[in-house]
Amino acid sequence: MTLAHRPAVLVARAVYPEVLDRLRQHFEVHANQEDSVFTRDELIARLQGMDGVFTTGSERMDEAVLAACPKLRICANMGVGYNNFDVAAMSARGVLGTNAPDVLTETTADFGFALLMATARRVAESEHFLRRGEWNSWRFDMFCGAEVHGSTLGVLGMGRIGQAIARRGAHGFGMQVIYHNRSRLDAATEASCKASYVSKGDLLARADHLVLVLPYTPAAHHSIGAAELAQMKPTATLVNIARGGIVDDAALAQALRERRIAAAGLDVFEGEPAVHPDLLTVPNVVLTPHIASATHGTRLAMANLAADNLIGYLTRGQALTPVNLDTLVPAARG
């Protein structure tokens, strides 16, 4: 295939140079190594004439964008989540969406458990205390946190990452694991995680440490709001490594301020990178900037999987991890 006849792809954010080199072996590549965050109009302009786009959570692929880019055939997301995709609109227009599952499971679960530990043991709160120069004596109850070993771990959303969190808790920390999911896991998977299925109400009421790992959908919006927080123990902690919007951040900040739950650890936020200002004023929350998958090896694997999906679909009509292949309009099936 000559260069003139190669498909054209846009890489919408900065990415590893070696991934761009792989893509250039197959495509006319339009890169964004300056890492500009495009407005909708800028994204539409950049997508003109593009057959594919390498996306991150920054690029909202909605009906307006798709309608303005009729040549587009595939959006390959560098991430397991794809709430930046209007999947129904993509399917109707014959645009395949792909994501990057599996390669980030263990790294994300490691971070989720690190955030759980930091939250339970008040790591950030005590560090701030030390940095302010306020540590000048010892008290028997200074920064006493919650037990982790032997406590009850609740997991809301028991996919790959949820299961990995459960295994860490059960096998590494002797925790009793309970979970709630849209559908119950098979017996063998439950046994491998030492996890018991419970109702959402029981999960909220019983968990000492509740970890959210469910995908974002409109139905999942504010799955944890004021009513759900009221069902939790006042000694409980909440960790969100799923997606912003699953938690009502304003309600959470109020519950933390009033000590209706003990603490929270958040890696994701509604409207990120903006963070609800009330969360910045409560001491009993650990805040991190959406870095659960942030190791060099994992982020490179995520980028390579997005590249593999672009290469596979635009050169052979086959993608490794499609999210809407079954709903693509018939004329667009590869």
Annotated catalytic residue within 272, 276, 296, 316: 272
Annotated catalytic residue within 6, 30, 222, 290: 290
* Torsion on CA atoms 46, 51, 52, 58, rounded to nearest 10: 30
Give the three-state DSSP class for 183.
Answer: coil
Mean pLDDT of the chain: 96
| Sites in the chain below the pLDDT cut of 70 | 1-4, 331-334
Asked if the domains at 3-103+296-332 and 105-287 fall in one CATH topology, the answer is yes
User: Under a CB-based contact definition with an 8 Å cutoff, are residues 35 and 59 in contact?
Assistant: no
At 229-257, the pLDDT tens digits run 999 999 999 999 999 999 999 999 999 99
At 47-65, the pLDDT tens digits run 999 999 999 999 999 999 9
User: Comparing C-alpha atoms, which of 231, 249, 230, 228 is closest to residue 240?
Assistant: 249
Domain formed by 3-103+296-332, architecture: 3-Layer(aba) Sandwich (3.40)
Please state, in angstroms and as integers, the Cα–Cα distance from residue 55 to each residue in 15, 21, 97, 100, 280, following that order.
10, 17, 10, 11, 30
> Known catalytic residue: 272?
yes
Q: Which pLDDT score is estimated for 333?
A: 47
Q: Which pLDDT score is estimated for 2?
A: 47
Q: Regarding beta strands 74-77 and 209-212, do their DSSP bridges make them parallel or antiparallel, or are they unpaired?
A: unpaired
Q: What is the amino acid identity at position 102?
A: D
At 67-81, the pLDDT tens digits run 999 999 999 999 998
Instruction: Look up the CATH number of domain 105-287.
Output: 3.40.50.720
The stretches of 31-156 forming alpha helices (DSSP H) are: 40-47, 63-67, 87-92, 105-120, 123-131
Q: Which pLDDT score is estimated for 5?
A: 79
| Helix H or strand E encompassing 308 | helix 296-316
Q: Which pLDDT score is estimated for 159?
A: 95
Annotated catalytic residue within 93, 243, 276, 299: 243
Phi first, then psi, for residue 283 (nearest 5°) are: -80, -25
Ranges of each domain in the chain? 3-103+296-332, 105-287
Q: Which pLDDT score is estimated for 108?
A: 97
> Known catalytic residue: 34?
no
Q: Which pLDDT score is estimated for 4?
A: 55
Burial of 51 (0-12, 13-18, 19+ CB in 10 A): buried
> Known catalytic residue: 257?
no
User: Under a CB-based contact definition with an 8 Å cutoff, are residues 249 and 271 in contact?
Assistant: no
Q: Cα separation of 298 and 80, whole Å?
A: 12
